[in-house]
């Protein structure tokens, strides 16, 4: 338990320590983009949008399929459970009647 806590804190400290380097790279990219003409800036913005649309679409479709599958699975499970209950009570009722008639 103590080892897991130490490891978690070490990884958190490492992630926070490297964050300024990522921010600096983003600032450099922004500075380079600002130095380009307006048409090039628009092209960069469009390229960024085109690169981000497929992953977002894939995640959205994947999540939708997962939800759809989960609902279908749950409905089938409920349906089969209800069928089992109905069949078991129906069979028990039939046995009771036949044994009472004999």
With residues binned 3-state (H G I as helix, E B as strand, rest as coil), the percentages for the chain, rounded to 5, are 95, 0, 5
Instruction: State mean pLDDT over 22-35.
Output: 76
Where do we find the tokens 């080892």? Answer: 3
For residue 94, pLDDT over 90 is answered with no
Q: How many residues does the chain have?
A: 102
Please state, for a pLDDT cut of 70, what percent of the chain lies above it. 80
Give the predicted TM-score (pTM) of the model: 0.48
CB 41 within 8 A of CB 32: no
pLDDT tens readout for residues 44-80: 889 988 999 999 999 999 999 999 999 999 998 888 8
DSSP 37: -
Cα end-to-end span (Å), the chain = 67
């Amino acid at each position: 338990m103590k080892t897991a806590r130490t490891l978690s804190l070490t990884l958190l400290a490492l992630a926070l320590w490297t964050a300024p380097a990522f921010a600096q790279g983003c600032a450099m990219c922004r500075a380079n983009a600002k130095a380009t003409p307006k048409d090039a800036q628009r092209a960069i913005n469009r390229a960024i949008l085109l690169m981000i649309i497929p992953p977002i679409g894939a995640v959205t479709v994947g999540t939708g399929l997962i939800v759809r599958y989960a609902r279908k699975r749950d409905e089938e499970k409920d349906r089969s459970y209800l069928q089992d209950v109905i069949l078991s009570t129906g069979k028990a009722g039939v046995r009771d009647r036949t044994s009472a008639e004999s």
